[in-house]
């Protein structure tokens, strides 16, 4: 290829398709006291490693506990780690929220607190892994479930996986998101999610999140885009 044309096509000297790498978020407890007698930390670090080994980017909520261990694993495997913070800047991140700066290539300061941060984190990601967690982790699960994102639930020496099985069973909406998978093996869990992400991308669907069109239509029956290759997902 002509060098001048190549430079014109790619002026920054980077892979123009790098943004298409899968982005997998890891959700889990920032507190660790209840996990002291489990293998949670090593399992979550292995999740970060596997995300990178399988060609994806590791996304976390930029907190202590499960997220920082996953971010650490991603960096140890030579990959990219991105954190979405509830804080509005680095000073607030460290001083008010007492959150770490290590093991993340980039921290996005949302300024939306934990609840708003959860939504941005799940929607930034192509899939989400649920590790050992508490109520905040369940919130991230429900946001991802509503958005029909692929979800991998890590089974282990904690009760989060069993709690989520019960929530799904009693939600009366099991069919809303069939892309929920369980596994105790980090490698196998990431493999399952990568396959689900590939299937999602094959359809080239555009997700639309409760736009004015949606509500004006009475909800659920928003007008479809004119392009037949694009399907709205409500």
Between CA 136 and CA 118 the distance in angstroms is 8
Strand order in the sheet with 106-109: 106-109, 81-85, 57-60, 23-27, 127-130, 151-154, 180-183
Buried b vs exposed e over 20-57: b needs ≥16 C-beta within 10 Å? eebbbbbbbbbebeebeeeebbebbbbbbbbbbbbebb
The answer to whether the beta carbons of residues 106 and 84 sit under 8 Å apart is no
Residue 2: pLDDT band by 50, 70, 90 thresholds?
low
What domains appear along the chain, each with residue ranges and CATH number?
21-27+39-202 (3.40.50.450), 204-234 (no CATH)
* Residue from 230, 229, 178 nearest 207 by CA: 230
Amino acid 222: pLDDT: 46
Q: Dump pLDDT digits (tens) for 34-52.
A: 888 899 999 999 999 999 9
C-alpha 74: how far from chain center: 14
Residue pLDDT, tens place only, 137-152? 999 999 999 999 999 9
Can you name the residues that pair with 26 across neighbouring β-strands?
129
pTM, entire model: 0.81
**What are the pLDDT digits (tens) for 150-162?**
999 999 999 999 9
Contacts of 121 by beta carbon, 8 Å cutoff, 6+ apart: 25, 27, 59, 60, 61, 84, 140
Taking 60 as the threshold, does the pLDDT of residue 165 lie above it? yes
């Amino acid at each position: 290829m002509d060098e001048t044309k190549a430079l014109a096509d790619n002026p920054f000297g980077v892979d123009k398709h790098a943004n298409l790498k899968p982005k997998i978020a890891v959700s889990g407890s920032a507190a660790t006291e209840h996990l002291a007698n489990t293998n949670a930390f090593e399992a979550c670090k292995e999740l970060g490693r596997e995300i990178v080994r399988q060609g994806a980017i590791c996304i976390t909520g930029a907190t202590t506990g499960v997220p920082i261990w996953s971010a650490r694993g991603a960096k140890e495997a030579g990959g990219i780690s991105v954190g979405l913070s509830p804080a509005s800047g680095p000073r607030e991140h460290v001083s008010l929220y007492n959150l770490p700066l290590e093991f993340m290539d980039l921290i996005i300061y949302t300024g939306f607190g934990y609840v708003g941060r959860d939504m941005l984190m799940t929607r930034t990601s192509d899939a989400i892994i649920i590790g050992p967690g508490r109520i905040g982790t369940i919130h991230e699960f429900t946001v991802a479930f509503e958005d029909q994102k692929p979800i991998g639930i890590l089974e282990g020496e904690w009760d989060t996986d069993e709690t989520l099985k019960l929530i799904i069973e009693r939600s009366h909406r099991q069919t809303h998101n069939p892309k929920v998978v369980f596994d105790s093996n980090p490698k196998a869990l990431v493999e399952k999610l990568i396959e689900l992400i590939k299937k999602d991308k094959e359809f080239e669907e555009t997700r639309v999140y409760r736009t004015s069109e949606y509500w004006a239509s009475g909800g659920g029956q928003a007008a479809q885009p004119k392009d037949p290759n694009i399907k709205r997902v409500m």
